[in-house]
């Protein structure tokens, strides 16, 4: 999704929740849209042009989370990383480096995603559940750490 349609979608969602889509909130959405994976508050603050106080950044993230614009990702102990929700970015999975802790998005080929989907359906049904979503996280060594 381009930047303009993204902002339009986000604004519509925030207005529904009676919150304003301010400069600071746009900046966070932009930073997350530019990121190849989930980012923590500390990681975001260095990528953003105008310096943002952490207290404001955390508040912004929790406002965005409340409106389901961003979703927290809890792969690293003691740190919450955020990414745009899948209704904005599309469904994807994650790779987590066991050495340096980096988290990167993995987009599956349609064939692989179908394979995962049908496997998840089969597994869940066998266990007696109705699946609405799934999360596949692959751990290992990233290119840097290999």
Partner DNA sequence: CCTAGAATGAGAATCGTTCTCGTTAACTAT
Partner DNA sequence: ATAGTTAACGAGAACGATTCTCATTCTAGG
Residues in contact with Mn ion by CB under 5 A are 83, 105, 116
Token duo for residue 127? 């266990």
Selected from 46, 77, 128, 135, the binder of DNA by CB under 7 A is: 77
Residue entry with tokens 């840097």:
144
Phi, psi of 54 (to 5 degrees): -60, -40
Residue entry with tokens 């969602």:
13
Is residue 62 at the binding interface for DNA, with CB under 7 A as the rule? yes
Selected from 99, 106, 122, 140, the binder of Zn ion by CB under 5 A is: 99
Size of the site for DNA (CB under 7 A): 25
Query: Of 50 and 135, which has the nearer Cβ to its own copies?
Result: 135
Rounded to 5°, angle at Cα 55 from 28 and 30: 5
Is residue 89 at the binding interface for its own copies, with CB under 8 A as the rule? no
The stretch near DNA (CB under 7 A) out of 56-64, 105-113, 117-125, 137-145 is: 56-64
The answer to whether residues 141 and 99 touch, using CB atoms and an 8 Å cutoff, is: yes
Phi, psi of 48 (to 5 degrees): -85, 140
Residue 33 CB neighbour total at 10 angstroms: 17
Which of Mn ion, its own copies, DNA, none does residue 24 bind to, with CB < 5 to 8 Å depending on kind?
DNA
Task: Name the site residues for Zn ion (rule: CB under 5 A).
Answer: 97, 99-100, 102, 142, 144-145
């Amino acid at each position: 999704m381009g930047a303009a349609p993204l902002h339009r979608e986000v604004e519509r969602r925030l207005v529904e929740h009676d919150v304003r889509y301010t400069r600071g909130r746009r900046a966070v959405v932009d930073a997350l849209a530019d990121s190849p994976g989930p980012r923590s508050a500390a990681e975001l603050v260095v990528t953003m042009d105008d310096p943002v106080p952490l207290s404001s950044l955390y508040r912004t993230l929790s406002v965005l989370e409340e409106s389901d614009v961003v979703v927290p990702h809890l792969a690293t102990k003691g740190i919450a990383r955020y990414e745009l929700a899948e209704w904005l970015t599309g469904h994807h999975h994650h790779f987590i480096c066991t050495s340096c802790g980096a988290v990167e998005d993995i987009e599956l080929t349609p064939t692989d995603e179908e394979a995962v989907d049908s496997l998840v359906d089969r597994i869940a049904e066998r266990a007696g559940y109705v699946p609405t979503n799934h999360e596949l996280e692959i751990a290992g060594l990233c290119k840097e750490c290999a």
